[in-house]
Structure 1
């Protein structure tokens, strides 16, 4: 069945045509949908069947358990009932013989049976244990022993009871021997500390200690008046006998005559076979347990070692087995007469019977999972049959759909593909089922007529398409040119807004050059005229110190704050006074101007000279000449940088080819143009990561940076913090421009890239700036993100592929 169930669907699948194996096949879709619906019905029927089976099974199981536990209880009780019946017979026979004996005292027989011992006891002759033949029948009797306690006065009445008991044990013993596996012994005790016993293999009366008190033994005491006031047959608790090496229970029946306790009949019952039957003989999947009414556990398949270790005193209530406790509570608290109850806590059924005699509970535990498993197997078989039926139905449905629908549809598909390929010849539709009289045939005729109409329409359409395509190409070229002009227009508009700032950026270094040139001219004339006198007044050593002073002044590039200059002056004045210079304040100003702020001891030869003021004046003028040339160089570089940035920004590349360009250089170009607006009240923060040049349109990207920076400065009203960062994440370079302006309200955030959308006053903006930005970024296969918080600022992040 497994082989056929696995191979049959595979063979069918291999027989399917390509149109069925296609994921979008109509046949496939129809069969799948029908299969799913039928499968759902099968599953629903299976589920209903499962619950129906469960309901019926529970009724059947309860009935089966009821019958089983009743029969089982009767069977297990039979041995105990037999034991009590034997005691009744023995009791009646004993009383009858006692009456017949009357006043006769068989002392001579007594003396032959018992002999006095040195320990003060009297015991039965060993020959009665080893074996003797009955005088009347000749039957060999073994296993009889007797014990009479120390220093007991043997009265006539005691002798009568002993002889009657001896004769009855002799008479009953052959029958008892047939039940050795269940009834190992039969004994009779008397209140005077006397015991006669039949027990093959166990010489109890010969081996018993001389000082033993039989009344203290549980199997004797259980029947005395104190423990058994009703004087009925009683049973001891279960115990493990070390002599017999077996579990047993003792049955004891007292015999009273005229209120006097004469003897107690007793015998033990071996329980190992009962335990074996209890544990091994059970319904499939169930187990049996036996316990007393007080909760002492007698037999359990998993607890026998624990029961033996406890000496038969394992109480369920004190155990750690919650399931066992639940069973005990449910059994003892069940309604009277109810045989099968449910243990809902552990999801099981309990079948209960009483073992008559000791009045023990015999319980069969039936896990309800057995019913669920059986119901599941039955439901699974129903499901299996349903799925086999489904497979057959799908197979039949497949061949019907294939012949009546799939093949005609495949012909339609082939004809459609030919017509889609502009094949309007007769061969394209000649295989269609035009002769069929059903809906498929009508569809084939309509399709054939449509093919003819399409041929005419396509011929007309081709001519119109050619004409429209030419017009569309002209419009696309015109729009492309307009877009480029619009970008350049935006760039020039931004440049126009920067003209005043750029002019200031150029005029400032020009003014610095003019001022430095004038200073250079004046100081140079004066210094050249004074050089001869300088070399006349200075010695060669002083000349060397003079030139060291100039070199130190030119090398020192440190610029001090006003506070630092004050501190340096105080230090220099103190140092000059310490060196004995007469006018330290005048020389201090000169040293500060020369950029010398400490350690003037090396210049003492010049300071102590009579022409020291003249010498230091010349040094100051020469230092000023050098600084003027440096200022001119810096101003030229600044103007050159502004002009280069302006030239780069104004450039318009019409080639449309990507080139490798540095993002940092582009950003610096734009920042240079905005330097005048930024330096007034903007704190500029740059965070650049070294990135290699990327393939891009650099001129268009400069327009992106211009528009974003311009918007950022306006959003901050040219006061605040502007952060420009370049980083890399995966395969993208990220340029993030953050301002500390008022942010973009949420309700207009989604509209900022919409063409002609602006929040500025009329005439201040076209509303195309960010639209152009987004189009340029899209052209680079990048993306632009906006993160804005009202009152805190806005970040525009441009992601460009590396």
Structure 2
């Protein structure tokens, strides 16, 4: 016996309310599809103000089918008063140009006057003979949950921003601590370097003061002979004073005192110039800078810390000026050079090498210190990591130095052999970079 054909599934009949609205069968099917998808549909005949609100539309607002109303006034009466102006503004824009989508988020009330967020969409499909809007079809979607989720996300974002601000504040305080440690160490070294030239200039001025006093007294004695009643006796007294003043010695000593004093003042001026070059006061913007000048000024202001431990060997190559923030790069030099000096226990060498390789500038700072064990080497750039005793370092120096170089689109890395020394290499691009918006002159210290 032949197999019977499977029963054919027929679509359910369209609800009578759809056909009663005046929609043809195809429109009714389209509206039914939207309702099945969860959206309520509406069909507004603008000429007579009548609106067909589908069953799902009514249900979204808590009404039985047809309970919402049948005209545009019913819709407006359910919209929150604060949202009516925005609704009309969107409608007018769409009526002027139906190519502009009509979409408006607003609050609508249910029968108990509880408001929910809804999204109303529509499309003008017909104009009358005068070109005026005649008919618009649209949908209604409940977006209350979406708005609640959005509010939660905004609150979480605001909290994240607040926590980030707190974190930035803590970072600023830590950086300030590192900066103060650097200033303290620099101040001690610079004060010692200033003490020597200022000391002998002060001593020389004491000697000059006495010598000038003797010479002025001698001049006064000779001048007095002209007005004396006994010129011969006055002249003899002046000659005796001349011998006591040892003028021949003064002729040799005074030029030497002036030369020593001038040299001391030159040294003070040079230290001040090196400090200014290091800090690059007033130069916090991106610019082309001479890295050798920055290295030299940094080495000079660290002279006191370095000179008792190491000889500095400069092996400078031919470098073009590099696009950077000079004060920030000098802070990196300060950190690496001071760490190199601290790594040398008794006496050693610090070698500073510069070169161009391809499209990069290389600066290598190598020391003959104790070196870094492998298990520590891969952690030295981690923030707060330090091998120094409590109170001797924050563990931020190398981390901040690496961050500065990264902001310059470069690299900072280290190699080391325990017992032989370490080498820190800075790579900076030669191409002119646009300064990133987030780049701010950072403060970095010399304690790691």
Normalising TM by the smaller chain, what interval?
0.5 to 0.7
| DSSP 3-state at the match of 1:791 | coil
> Within 5 Å, which residues of 2 pair with 1:628-643?
628-643=257-272
The one of 363, 367, 371 aligned to 1:735: 363
Quick one: distance in 2 between partners of 1:713 and 1:487? 22
Alignment of 1:203-602 (within 5 A): 458-521=146-209
Tell me if structure 2 keeps the 8 A contact 1:527–1:622: no
Q: Structure 1 pair 488/649, CA: closer, same or farther in 2 (3 Å)?
A: farther
Alpha-carbon distance in 1 for matches of 2:275, 2:189 = 12
Quick one: distance in 2 between partners of 1:524 and 1:652? Answer: 41
Higher relative contact order (CA 8 A, sep 6+): 2
Deviation at 1:743, TM superposition (A): 0.6
Match of 1:624 among 253, 262, 266: 253
TM-score under structure 2 normalisation?
0.52
1:127 aligns to what? none
Do the aligned partners of residues 688 and 488 (structure 1) sit closer, same or farther apart at CA in structure 2, a change above 3 Å counting? farther
Q: CA deviation at 1:721?
A: 0.8
Deviation at 1:704, TM superposition (A): 1.4
Q: CA deviation at 1:480?
A: 4.1
Candidates 304, 312, 328, aligned match of 1:684: 312
Of 322, 337, 344 in structure 2, the residue corresponding to residue 716 of structure 1 is: 344
Is the CA contact (8 Å cut-off) linking 1:488 and 1:652 kept in structure 2? no
SS in 1 for 2:386: coil
Secondary structure of the equivalent of 2:353?
A: strand
1:759 maps to what in 2?
387
Secondary structure of 1:775's counterpart equals helix
Q: CA deviation at 1:425?
A: 10
Q: Deviations over 1:294-335 (max 9, x none)?
A: xxxxxxxxxxxxxxxxxxxxxxxxxxxxxxxxxxxxxxxxxx
For 2:168 and 2:316, how far apart are their aligned partners in 1? 34
Number of corresponding residues: 270
The residue number in structure 1 matching 2:297 is 669
How far apart are 1:781 and its partner, in Å?
1.0
Aligned to 2:408: 780
Quickly say closer, same or farther: Cα 1:509–1:718, change in 2 above 3 A: farther
Q: Does 1:801 align with 2:438?
A: no
Compared with structure 1, are the counterparts of its residues 706 and 623 closer, same or farther at alpha carbon in structure 2 (3 Å cutoff)?
same
SS at match of 1:737: strand
* 1:768 Cα deviation after fit: 1.6
Q: Which residue of 2 aligns with 1:282?
A: none
Separation in structure 2 between the aligned mates of residue 529 and residue 689 of structure 1, nearest angstrom: 59
1:629 Cα shift? 1.6
CA offset at residue 797 of structure 1?
0.8
Change (3 A) 1:745 1:425: farther
Equivalents in 2 of 1:689, 1:522: separation in Å?
A: 51
CA contact (8 A) 2:310 2:348 kept: yes
The offset of 1:647, in angstroms, is 5.5
Q: How many Å separate the matches in 2 of 1:472 and 1:739?
A: 44
1:796/1:713 CA distance change after superposition, 3 Å: same
Give a deviation string over 1:716-767, Cα, whole Å, max 9, x none: 0262111222322222222211111011111211111112211112222222
Deviations 1:591-645 (A, max 9, x none): xxxxxxxxxxxxxxxxxxxxxxx9xx97764343223222212211222233344
Distance change in 2, residues 1:524/1:725 (3 Å): farther
Contact 1:524 / 1:625 at 8 angstroms: preserved in 2?
no
8 A Cα contact 1:733 1:800, kept in partner:
yes
Which residue pairs with 1:254 in the alignment? none
**Aligned residues of 1:491 and 1:650 also touching (Cα < 8 A):** no
The partner residue of 2:327 within 687, 695, 699 is 699
Distance verdict in 2 for CA 1:732–1:619, change over 3 Å: farther
3-state DSSP of counterpart to 1:741: coil
What is the CA distance between 1:650 and its match in structure 2? Answer: 6.5
Decide whether the 8 Å contact of 1:492 with 1:650 is kept in 2. no
Q: Name the SS of the counterpart of 2:339 in structure 1.
A: helix
Aligned counterparts of 2:339 and 2:357: Cα–Cα separation in 1: 26
TM-score by length of 1: 0.30
Structure 2 CA distance for aligned equivalents of residues 623 and 686 of structure 1: 39
Q: Structure 1: any 5+ residue segments left out of the alignment?
A: 1-423, 428-451, 532-613
Assess, with a 3 A threshold, how the Cα gap between structure 1 residues 762 and 482 changes in structure 2: closer, same or farther.
closer
In structure 2, list runs of 5 or more residues that go unmatched.
1-118, 123-140, 220-242, 431-448
- Cα distance in 1 for partners of 2:403, 2:417 equals 25
> Distance between the aligned counterparts of 1:478 and 1:652, measured in 2?
29
Aligned to 1:748: 376
**CA deviation string 1:693-725 (max 9, x = no partner):** 333233322321222122111110262111222
Using the TM superposition, give the Cα deviation of residue 683 of structure 1 relative to its aligned residue in structure 2, in angstroms. 0.9
Quickly say closer, same or farther: Cα 1:658–1:631, change in 2 above 3 A: same
Whether the 8 Å CA contact 1:527–1:621 is kept in 2: the answer is no
CA 1:459–1:525 in 2, change beyond 3 Å: closer, same or farther? closer
Radius of gyration: which is bigger? 1
In 2 relative to 1, CA 469–712 (structure 1 residues): closer, same or farther, beyond 3 Å? same
Residues 284 and 326, structure 2, Cα contact 8 Å, conserved in 1: no
Query: How far is the alpha carbon of 1:769 from its aligned partner?
Result: 1.4
Out of 258, 271, 288, the residue aligned to residue 660 of structure 1 is 288
Structure 2: distance between partners of 1:724 and 1:505 = 22
Query: For 2:167 and 2:207, how far apart are their aligned partners in 1?
Result: 58
Deviations 1:135-187 (A, max 9, x none): xxxxxxxxxxxxxxxxxxxxxxxxxxxxxxxxxxxxxxxxxxxxxxxxxxxxx
Cα RMSD, aligned residues only: 3.7
Q: CA deviation at 1:777?
A: 1.2
Contact map agreement 1:660 1:693 (CA 8 A) in 2: yes
1:378-414: CA deviations, max 9, x gaps? xxxxxxxxxxxxxxxxxxxxxxxxxxxxxxxxxxxxx
